[in-house]
Chain A
Amino acid sequence: DAKTTQPPSMDCAEGRAANLPCNHSTISGNEYVYWYRQIHSQGPQYIIHGLKNNETNEMASLIITEDRKSSTLILPHATLRDTAVYYCIVSRGPNTGNQFYFGTGTSLTVIP
């Protein structure tokens, strides 16, 4: 079962930062936080993941609170192509063969 809570929808102005929150208050010490997004009628796309440190890559930044009970995905300069459903998933990670269970996600709409 999904172990994350996300707001169902958010809007963001084009060019501004999009901050997508996720609550995972029951996360275990060996579980990672993964973020994926799904553009309509496509398969989910990997964005970023982290364990406890903040992470940044070419797509986004991931901020994980010190107690690891919540995190925020940051898209620094949102574009219209970032309109998608964003999923936050907690899992022990692929090297363990663990399943990914998806929650309801956040539908992000980037507005021109």
Chain B
Amino acid sequence: GAVVSQHPSRVICKSGTSVKIECRSLDFQATTMFWYRQFPKKSLMLMATSNEGSKATYEQGVEKDKFLINHASLTLSTLTVTSAHPEDSSFYICSARELQGLRGYTFGSGTRLTVV
């Protein structure tokens, strides 16, 4: 079945630095990928829709300059958290849509970001 890989699975960074998270579709092409954020004991919150070859669409309240998304190929989308602060610490999850898929979106295993 469709597999989505996220890297890294865990990252710790210092306040003020930037962190890049990769989301790859391993055995299928994905024109659309989605990025979510999840705080402890909370549900997934959609941050943005990433479209290959075009600008990402951000949900209301999500700062596009803070969370940079690049979807440069049909198998890779990246999320860069710029000038990270402790409140950006969260679980970040991506999902992708297989072009001919009928089962819904496939989700990555998530990235645990801790900003110290």
Per a CB cutoff under 8 Å, which of B4, B46, B91, B106 touches A99? B46
**Is A100 a contact of B46 with CB atoms below 8 Å?**
yes
Binds A, one of B14-22, B73-81, B82-90, B95-103: B95-103
Q: Beyond A43-B110, A46-B103, is A100–B43 a contact (Cβ under 8 Å)?
A: no
User: Size band of the A side of the interface?
Assistant: 20 to 34
B34 CB-CB contact with A under 8 Å: yes
Q: How far apart sit A105 and B101, CA to CA, in the bound complex (Å)?
A: 24
Q: Beyond A42-B109, A100-B34, is A94–B104 a contact (Cβ under 8 Å)?
A: yes
Number of A-B contacts (CB under 8 A): 63
Q: Beyond A46-B103, A105-B43, is A100–B95 a contact (Cβ under 8 Å)?
A: yes
A21 CB-CB contact with B under 8 Å: no
Taking CB as reference atom, which chain A residue is nearest B34? Answer: A99
Q: How far apart sit A41 and B10, CA to CA, in the bound complex (Å)?
A: 11
Q: How far apart sit A53 and B66, CA to CA, in the bound complex (Å)?
A: 43
Q: Smallest distance from the beta carbon of B116 to chain A beta carbons, Å?
A: 19
**Is A41 a contact of B49 with CB atoms below 8 Å?**
no
User: Size band of the B side of the interface?
Assistant: 20 to 34
**Is B109 a contact of A49 with CB atoms below 8 Å?**
no
Taking CB as reference atom, which chain A residue is nearest B44? Answer: A102
Taking CB atoms, residues of chain B closer than 8 Å to A41 are 91, 110, 112
Per a CB cutoff under 8 Å, which of A43, A87, A99, A104 touches B109? A43
Binding site for B on A (CB under 8 A): 2, 34, 36, 38, 41-46, 49, 87, 93-95, 97, 99-105
11 CB-based A-B contacts, threshold 8 Å: A2-B43, A41-B91, A41-B112, A42-B110, A44-B107, A46-B106, A95-B102, A99-B49, A101-B46, A102-B45, A105-B43
Q: A44-B107, A104-B43 are known contacts; what are 10 more A-B pairs with Cβ within 8 Å?
A: A41-B110, A43-B6, A43-B93, A43-B107, A43-B108, A46-B104, A97-B49, A99-B34, A99-B46, A100-B105
